[in-house]
Structure 1
Amino acid sequence: MLGRVYLGNLVGAMAMLGLVMAAKLYQLDGGEWGMHAMIVAKGKLGYDWSQAFALGILCNFLVCLATWMTFTSKDSIGKSLLVILPVAMFVSSGFEHSIANMFMVPLGLAIKAVSDPAFYIAHGHLASDFSQLTFYNFIVHNLIPVTLGNIFGGGILVGLGYWSIDRKKPHEKALDQTLNTQRR
């Protein structure tokens, strides 16, 4: 199931990437939009493996917090507001999320692929400034450690934390079953 969700998100990110590139959004503001996207993508490849892993853990702590917080509200507006705060914090803090990176880094790679030397020079850069922005570096130095960090942070730490709080001893489960049967 996790594999299907991951693959589905990848397909969605690539569809969005295709639309953004077809719309030539990278040319907005004289290409500033595209250059900024490349700089962000390049920055995501600047972490060592353990740092990317840790940033992935921190990110999914907040994603899980956003999810759990929605259970405290009954209306859609409340749920929306409760999601905004943790997500805004992970974005503004520079934490890493594998699904977001499935769009952002390939966007930088796509812009790099269609850009000529004049594009870089017009924005005060050289093509060589983005030499580390490669598909290999994306997979090895970002997507793998960030994905593992997201899984560890959300699935292991948060999941096991809630499990340990909510788990019941066998005699408590038997008592609950007895009480539920008596209520019927």
Structure 2
Amino acid sequence: MSYVKPVDLVTAMIDAGRSKVFLSTRETLVRAFMGGAILALAAAFAVTVSVRTENPLAGAILFPVGFILLYLMGFDLLTGVFTLVPLAWLAREPGVNWPRMLRNWGLVFVGNFAGAFLVAVLMAIYFTYGFSSEPDAVGQAIGTIGEGRTIGYAQHGAAGMLTLFVRGVLCNWMVSTGVAAAMISKNVIGKAVTMWMPIMLFFFMGFEHSIVNMFLFPSGLMLGGNFTIADYLVWNEIPTVAGNLVGGFAFVGLTLYLSHGRRTDPEPVAAGEAGRDAALVH
């Protein structure tokens, strides 16, 4: 059967979280670098499609191609390890502790940012002919996204910060659902379809994804966006990371673990009782 039952799904998620904790520094950074880079390319692709077709839904439908590819190839995103690694800790897997978990998160953050930033530089060159001309329509749109999702939140003060955090929570609720969904099927088509659904939803709804933003905002700064690095960090990246952590762990990892991961074996039936039950059946 290609379908993995929820009980077995949780076991697979715990195993995945444990394995990520014990990866070497090099393996963790390379996987995270490629994950950030591929997702950034997908974001650039989706924005390009949305602008050129004037249809945001088309971009949202196509954006999941990057997410699907990077997970099929075994690369990592911070949003995913926020969900998987704590499950291994909850399950009390040997050697999985807070220092190792924080190490994993830190390395994945650095790797994701490096990959996304590299693509941001390359795409800025692409949109401006090597910074020799004004950005095209797509480049201008990316700059506008950066302004609206930093200064736009700041204009609302505490309410804007709350909204930003909630969008981060909702984002990783969906993204981590996609991460878990990838383990529900044992074939490529099944994995792709189940990942595609929640990822399309998050992108079209404009939720805040910390790794996508690692591409959009540095790109926006290079393409003339009217905001600062401090705006990006305070009014987007840091609250988004916090929201992504809460959304992925609380609404995906923890709920699956509590509902399917804490099994208790049935009480053994005494030999005499078993004999009486058998006699009644016959």
Fold-level similarity (TM above 0.5): yes
Which runs of at least 4 in structure 1 moved beyond 3 Å after TM superposition? Answer: 26-30, 173-176
Task: Please give the alpha-carbon distance, in whole angstroms, between the structure 1 residues aligned to 2:107 and 2:229.
Answer: 22
1:64 corresponds to: 176
> Percent same amino acid among aligned pairs?
31
Task: Please give the alpha-carbon distance, in whole angstroms, between the structure 2 residues aligned to 1:49 and 1:37.
Answer: 21
Q: Structure 1 residues 61 and 20 mapped into 2: Cα distance closer, same or farther (>3 Å)? A: same
1:149 corresponds to: 243
Secondary structure of 2:223's counterpart equals helix
Task: Please give the alpha-carbon distance, in whole angstroms, between the structure 1 residues aligned to 2:193 and 2:128.
Answer: 30
Higher helix share: 1
Task: Please give the alpha-carbon distance, in whole angstroms, between the structure 2 residues aligned to 1:138 and 1:61.
Answer: 22
Equivalent in 112, 115, 122 of residue 19 of structure 1: 122
Q: Cα distance, 1:167 vs. partner?
A: 4.1
1:42 and 2:147 correspond: yes
Secondary structure of 2:114's counterpart equals helix
User: Is the 2:135–2:223 Cα contact (8 Å) retained in structure 1?
Assistant: no
Higher RCO (CA-CA < 8 Å; seq separation 6+): 1
1:10 and 2:113 correspond: yes
More off after superposition, 68-77 vs 5-14: 68-77
Q: Structure 1 residues 134 and 76 mapped into 2: Cα distance closer, same or farther (>3 Å)? A: same
User: Is the 1:60–1:150 Cα contact (8 Å) retained in structure 2?
Assistant: yes
Instruction: Give the superposed CA RMSD.
Output: 2.3
Q: Give the TM-score normalised by the residue count of structure 2.
A: 0.51
Q: Structure 1 residues 36 and 159 mapped into 2: Cα distance closer, same or farther (>3 Å)? A: same
The runs of 5 or more residues in structure 1 that have no matched partner are 113-129, 177-184
Aligned residues: 155
Q: Cα distance, 1:174 vs. partner?
A: 9.2
